[in-house]
Structure 1
C-alpha cells in the first residue's frame, strides 16, 4: 500500500475542507494510506504530518477554511529546508503529494519535484480565480455567493436612504470577483485593475440617471484599483450629489459554508489528482477548462500571467 499526503498552502478558501474529506475517502478506496500535512509547507519542514482515516474528516464538509491549516512558507524557498521536508516524507514512506493552493504554492511544489522526485499534483484554490490555464479555482463560487449576499443586504439600506454604496471586493491583482459580482448584482459601476478608468467619465450618465428617477447607486470596486474607495464616495457626494458610504468586505469573502458547486468541484478535483498520481502524471496541476478537466505542467501554469476572459470584459462595457 502506497502513502499519499495532502496540504494547503497560501490563502484559505471555502472548498478546502470538502476536498480534504474526499481526499481521505478516495485514497482509502484506492488502497492508499492518507496523511495530513498541517500548516502547509511549514508542516512538511516541521514534520507535522499525521496518518488519518474517516474519523478525521467526519463533519467537515460544510465548514469553511481548512481543518489542516494553511501557511505561507519562506523557509520552503530554501533548498536546505526542502531537503528536510523530503527526509520527513521518506521516514513515513510518503511518495505522493497533493497541494491545494495558488501560483506561489505550485512553484514551490515544482522545485520540490525537480529536486526530489516526489510525485506531485496541484489543485487550484484561490478566490481570486487568477491562475493561468484554469477557468475555475476551488473556492470561487463560495466567495461569489458571500459577496452576492452582502451586496443584496447593502442594497436594502442604499434604497432606503437614497445613497451610493461603494463596495470593495478582494482581488489585489485580478478583478474577477468584482466583475462577476457587478454583472450578477446589477451594479451601476464596476472598477477593476484590468480596465483603466477615469471616474469623471461617468458624471454625465449618472446625473442623467438621477434626473430620470434613480435614487441610489451600487458601485463594485476591486481592491486592486489605484483609486481609494473613499475618494470615489467623495466624488459621488460632491459631483453627483448623493450621500455615499463605503463597505470593505474584506476576509468575510474567504469564509462561510462551501456552496454545493464548490463541494462538487472539490470532489472532482481530488478524483483527478489522485487518479493522475496513480497514472502517468507525476508533476501536474489539475485545470478546469471548457474542454473539461486537463492535466497541465506546473511550468505551463506558472509560466504565464493570468488574463481575464475577453468575453467577460466585453460584458463590462454595458455596466
Structure 2
C-alpha cells in the first residue's frame, strides 16, 4: 500500500486542521496509508513520523493552528540534515509528501525534490497571502475576519471617546491583509508598502472632515512599514486628536476557521492528492479564477507575489 505523509511548516494558519482531517479521510478512501510528520521540517529531521488514524482528526476541524504542530528549521538549510530527513522518509517507505506552508517552506520542499526520488505537493498556507501563482492561501479568510471584528470593536470606542486608532496588521512584506481589511472595514486611512502615501494629503482631508463633524479616525497600517508609532504621533501632533495603537499580532493566525477556509482546506488537499495520484512530482496547488491547478515548484518558490491591480487601485483612493 502506498504511503503519503503531510507536514505543516512555517507560520500556522486556521484551516490547517481541516486540511489534516481531509487528508486522513481522502487518502484512505483512495487506498493509501496516511502519515503525519510532527513539528514540520524539524520533525522530519528527527523522524517524528507517525501513522495517522481517523481518531487523530476527530473533532479538530473547529480548532485553529495545527495538531501536528509546525516549525521553522535552521537545520534544514544544511544538506546533511536534509539527507537525514530523506532517509527517515525512506525508512517508512513514504513515497509522497504534502507540505502546507509559505514560500520558505516551498524552497525547502524544492531542495528535497532535487535530492531525492520522493514526490512532493505544496499547499499555500499563510495569512500573508503572498505566494506567487495563487490568488488565495489557506488561512487568509479567517485572519481577515479576525481583523474585521477588531476594527468593528475599535470603532465603538473610537467614536465614544473621539479618538484616532492605529490598527497594525500582520503581513511581513505584503500589504494584502491591511488593504482588504481597510477596504471592507470602512476605515479612513490605509498604509501599505505597495502604495506610496503622502501624509499632507491625508491631513488636508482629515481637517476638512473634522470641520464637517467627524470626531474619530481609524487607520490600518501594515507591519511591513514599521510606521505605526509614527502615525500615532502624527495623529496627535498634526491632527490634534488623542490616539491609541492596537497591534493585533498573532491573534490573526488563530481562531475558529471560517466556512471558506474549511472548504478551501478540503479542496486544496483533494487537489494535492489527486495530483500525486496523477503523477505530479514537484508541484504547488494554486487557486485562480475559481479553479485549482498544479504549478511547478520553480514557478512559485522564487517568484515575488504582487497584489492584483484592481485592489491596488481601490487602495489608492484613500488619499483623494
Given the two structures, how large is their TM-score scaled by the length of structure 1? 0.98
Quote the Cα distance in structure 2 between the aligned partners of 1:127 and 1:259.
13
Quote the Cα distance in structure 2 between the aligned partners of 1:317 and 1:73.
38
2:203 equivalent in structure 1: 203
Shift of 1:280: 2.1
1:246 equivalent in structure 2: 245
Shift of 1:211: 0.4
1:275 equivalent in structure 2: 274
Quote the Cα distance in structure 1 between the aligned partners of 2:50 and 2:316.
51
Shift of 1:226: 4.3
2:6 equivalent in structure 1: 6
Q: Secondary structure at the match of 2:148?
A: helix
Moved more, 98-107 or 70-79: 70-79
Shift of 1:317: 2.2
2:304 equivalent in structure 1: 305
Q: What are the Cα deviations for residues 54-111 of structure 1, in whole angstroms up to 9, with x where unaligned? A: 0010000000000000001111121111111111111111000000001110011111
Tell whether the 8 Å contact from 2:103 to 2:131 is kept in structure 1 after alignment: yes
2:235 equivalent in structure 1: 236
Alignment of 1:1-319 (within 5 A): 1-227=1-227, 229-290=228-289, 292-319=291-318
Quote the Cα distance in structure 2 between the aligned partners of 1:50 and 1:66.
15
Tell whether the 8 Å contact from 2:123 to 2:285 is kept in structure 1 after alignment: yes
Q: Secondary structure at the match of 1:304?
A: coil
Quote the Cα distance in structure 2 between the aligned partners of 1:64 and 1:298.
27
Quote the Cα distance in structure 1 between the aligned partners of 2:229 and 2:77.
38
Shift of 1:52: 1.2
Shift of 1:201: 2.4
Quote the Cα distance in structure 2 between the aligned partners of 1:54 and 1:226.
44
CA distance 1:302–1:98, shift in 2 (3 Å): same
Q: Secondary structure at the match of 2:257?
A: coil
Shift of 1:25: 0.4
* Unpaired segments ≥5 residues, structure 1: none
Q: Secondary structure at the match of 1:284?
A: strand
Shift of 1:208: 0.1
Moved more, 194-203 or 135-144: 194-203
Q: Secondary structure at the match of 1:64?
A: coil
Quote the Cα distance in structure 1 between the aligned partners of 2:117 and 2:176.
35
Tell me the C-alpha RMSD between the 2 structures: 0.9
Shift of 1:206: 0.5
Quote the Cα distance in structure 1 between the aligned partners of 2:67 and 2:54.
14
Quote the Cα distance in structure 2 between the aligned partners of 1:291 and 1:258.
20
Aligned residues: 318
Tell whether the 8 Å contact from 2:167 to 2:219 is kept in structure 1 after alignment: yes
Shift of 1:183: 0.1
Quote the Cα distance in structure 2 between the aligned partners of 1:145 and 1:134.
20
Q: What are the Cα deviations for residues 153-209 of structure 1, in whole angstroms up to 9, with x where unaligned? A: 111000101111000000120000000000001110000011122322211110000
* Unpaired segments ≥5 residues, structure 2: none
